[in-house]
């Protein structure tokens, strides 16, 4: 547990996240997709773990988040849930499992909650998915929104560049954030938008705003675990801070292992029965 973490909290809840916003304590959030990494990250004291559909990129090697299925998300989520004793676990409903209609959205959310044991779901979009958000919330499932750069709509945007730089899109984003709050979402992720707009949104709603590439004047930050640990090498957006160079560390370890196997240095007398 780190010194920056509230010591008296045993399990993070939506109420605690809300209280953190009210007292100005920043919320820490990272993605996780498997048991071993989730256990380390939870043990370090992260507040929220997101089983993101970025699993489609960093776990499965797809170019976009679109191909990942609901079954695959549930598999990742259940592995993460088994590892966690403190963090609040949020799971992305993947592309194609909530946009059709609100019954489909509710069915998908219920499958995630029942089969993975997660604590909440995340969906991308504002007014256009309002009915789905309301229907999921009506079943008692907490919902996190996601606005700005929403990767499930990448083929509509055409690029991964900063969103909402123009007045019209900025106004829609602010209206969508207020709408998601009104519907009952417990938090919203804002991805890759101007810091000034993110600040305005965070000041305009009472629920926590978690940023990724949205500046420092929001209520918390999220990064993709593989990016911040330096496992992915090629992805270098301005907003990314790398906290380790695991790519180099793993590469060195594997090179040394290969060398030791080839030279019959491994295993030695003490490493056998």
User: Which residues are part of the catalytic machinery?
Assistant: 191
* 153 burial level (CB within 10 Å; 0-12, 13-18, 19+): middle
Does residue 111 have a cis peptide bond before it, meaning omega lies within 30 degrees of 0? no
At closest approach, how far in Å is the CB of 189 from ligand KIV? Answer: 5
Output 14 or 54, the one with its CB closest to ligand KIV.
54
Distance CA 31, CA 1 (A): 18
At closest approach, how far in Å is the CB of 50 from ligand KIV? Answer: 6
H-helix or E-strand containing 71?
helix 70-83
Output 48 or 174, the one with its CB closest to ligand KIV.
48
Residue with tokens 């978690």: 210
Q: Tell me which residues touch ligand KIV (CB under 6 A).
A: 31, 50, 52-54, 92, 146, 189, 191, 212, 222, 224
Output 52 or 126, the one with its CB closest to ligand KIV.
52
Name the phi and psi angles at 41, rounded to 5.
Answer: -70, -40
At closest approach, how far in Å is the CB of 224 from ligand KIV? Answer: 5
At closest approach, how far in Å is the CB of 268 from ligand KIV? Answer: 42
Output 173 or 212, the one with its CB closest to ligand KIV.
212
Output 151 or 252, the one with its CB closest to ligand KIV.
151
Name the phi and psi angles at 197, rounded to 5.
Answer: -70, -40
What is the secondary structure of 153-187 as a DSSP string? GHHHH-S-SPP--SHHHHHHHHHHHHHHHHHT-SE
- Cite the DSSP H helix spans in 84-238: 102-116, 130-138, 154-157, 167-183, 195-204, 225-228
Length of the chain: 273
At closest approach, how far in Å is the CB of 19 from ligand KIV? Answer: 22
At closest approach, how far in Å is the CB of 198 from ligand KIV? Answer: 13
Output 28 or 263, the one with its CB closest to ligand KIV.
28
In 3-state terms, the chain is what percent helix, strand and coil (to 5)?
45, 15, 40
At 212 the three-state DSSP class reads strand
């Amino acid at each position: 547990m780190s010194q920056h973490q509230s010591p008296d909290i045993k399990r993070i809840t939506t109420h605690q996240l809300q209280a953190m916003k009210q007292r100005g304590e920043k919320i820490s959030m990272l993605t996780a997709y498997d048991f071993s990494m989730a256990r380390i990250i939870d043990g370090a004291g992260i507040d929220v773990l997101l089983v993101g559909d970025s699993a489609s990129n960093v776990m499965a090697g797809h170019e976009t988040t679109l191909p990942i299925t609901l079954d695959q998300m549930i598999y990742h989520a259940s592995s993460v849930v088994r590892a966690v004793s403190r963090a609040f676990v949020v799971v992305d409903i993947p592309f194609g499992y909530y946009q059709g209609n609100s019954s489909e959205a509710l069915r998908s959310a219920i499958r995630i909650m029942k089969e993975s044991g997660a604590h909440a779901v995340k969906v991308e979009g504002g007014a256009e998915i309002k009915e789905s958000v309301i229907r999921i919330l009506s079943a008692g499932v907490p919902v996190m929104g996601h606005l700005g750069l929403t990767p499930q709509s990448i083929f509509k945007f055409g690029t991964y560049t900063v969103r909402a730089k123009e007045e019209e899109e900025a106004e829609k984003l602010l209206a969508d954030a207020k709408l998601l709050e009104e519907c009952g979402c417990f938090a919203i992720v804002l991805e890759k938008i101007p810091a000034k707009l993110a600040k305005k949104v965070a000041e305009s709603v009472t629920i926590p705003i978690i940023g990724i590439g949205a500046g420092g004047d929001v209520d918390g930050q999220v990064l993709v675990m593989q990016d911040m640990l330096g496992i992915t090498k090629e992805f270098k957006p301005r907003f990314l801070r790398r906290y380790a160079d695991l790519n180099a560390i793993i590469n060195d370890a594997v090179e040394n292992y290969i060398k030791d196997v080839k030279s019959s240095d491994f295993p030695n007398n003490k490493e056998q029965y």
